[in-house]
């Protein structure tokens, strides 16, 4: 019933999340969003309510197409070692190959959200718990398999890997250096008896 929408929601959210990701919520104007999505203000407000609504939808879209997707793909791998190595390899390559040094939209949002936006803060916190839970599952599996030593508490290790990931995302905004990242991941992996194969800066595709 009624006139159908002319835009592709996925493409719109893709464009919107790119802008929010690069500039943050506050520094992104609704005009910039209009231009990026090729949507008029009326269409945006009709479809998403307001700027915050579009941001939340764009954030969901971002999480699904990056972090959640990455977790699902690597958790499906046969070994815990491969899952962990693959996850960090991909994370590091992405961080180093982004010419805009946008880091991670989740981390960017974490530092832009304040206790005055408790729902947003809780949303970010919950997503970080999901990442931590992924690490916990992988580590427990690896310990059960015999891939990883069993003397270390998996909860501690999961928290460590989460923080390593968060710290890397901060550093990738200001110091996207392969050498730095290698010296972070190598000792963390060594705890689990894993050898981290040093990686070098990856040139981004020109699109």
Which of the choices a second copy, DNA, none does residue 41 contact, using the CB cut-off of 5 to 8 A by kind? DNA
Q: What is the end-to-end Cα distance of the chain in Å, rounded?
A: 39
**Which of 91, 25, 103 lies closest to 57 in space, CA to CA?**
25
Contact between 176 and 95 (Cβ < 8 Å)? yes
Which of the choices DNA, a second copy, none does residue 201 contact, using the CB cut-off of 5 to 8 A by kind? none
Length of the chain: 207
Residues between 79 and 118 that touch a second copy (CB under 8 A): 99-101, 103, 107-108, 110-115
Which of the choices a second copy, DNA, none does residue 65 contact, using the CB cut-off of 5 to 8 A by kind? none
Residues between 38 and 77 that touch a second copy (CB under 8 A): none
Which of 7, 18, 22, 47 lies at the binding interface for a second copy (CB under 8 A)?
22
Residue 16 C-beta: closest distance to a second copy, Å:
17
Of 70 and 173, which has the nearer Cβ to a second copy? Answer: 173
Which of the choices a second copy, DNA, none does residue 12 contact, using the CB cut-off of 5 to 8 A by kind? none
Which CA distances in Å does 164 have to 116, 148, 188? 27, 18, 8
Which of the choices DNA, a second copy, none does residue 205 contact, using the CB cut-off of 5 to 8 A by kind? none
Contact between 155 and 200 (Cβ < 8 Å)? no
Here the tokens at position 115 are 């206790």
Question: How far apart are alpha carbons 188 and 144 in whole angstroms?
Answer: 19
Q: Which residues of this protein are in contact with DNA, per CB under 7 A?
A: 1-7, 28-32, 39-43, 45-47, 50-52
Question: How far apart are alpha carbons 198 and 37 in whole angstroms?
Answer: 39
Question: How far apart are alpha carbons 13 and 62 in whole angstroms?
Answer: 8
Interface residues toward a second copy, by CB under 8 A: 22-24, 26-27, 99-101, 103, 107-108, 110-115, 121-122, 124-125, 128-129, 152-153, 155-157, 159-160, 162-171, 173-175, 180, 183-184, 186-188, 191
């Amino acid at each position: 019933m009624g006139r159908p929408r002319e835009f592709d929601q996925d493409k719109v959210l893709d464009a919107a999340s790119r802008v929010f990701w690069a500039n943050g919520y506050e520094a992104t104007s609704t005009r910039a969003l209009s231009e990026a999505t090729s949507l008029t203000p009326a269409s945006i407000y009709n479809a998403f309510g307001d700027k915050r609504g579009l941001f939340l939808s764009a954030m969901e879209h971002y999480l699904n197409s990056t972090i959640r997707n990455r977790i699902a793909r690597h958790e499906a791998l046969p070994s815990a070692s491969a899952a962990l190595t693959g996850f960090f390899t991909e994370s590091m390559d992405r961080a180093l190959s982004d010419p805009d040094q946008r880091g991670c939209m989740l981390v960017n949002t974490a530092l832009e959200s304040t206790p005055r936006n408790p729902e947003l803060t809780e949303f970010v916190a919950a997503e970080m718990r999901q990442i931590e839970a992924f690490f916990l599952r992988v580590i427990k599996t690896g310990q059960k398999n015999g891939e990883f030593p069993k003397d270390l508490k998996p909860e501690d290790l999961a928290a460590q890997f989460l923080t390593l990931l968060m710290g890397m995302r901060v550093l990738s905004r200001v110091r996207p250096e392969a050498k730095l990242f290698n010296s972070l991941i190598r000792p963390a992996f060594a705890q689990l008896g894993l050898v981290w194969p040093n990686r070098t800066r990856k040139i981004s595709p020109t699109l």
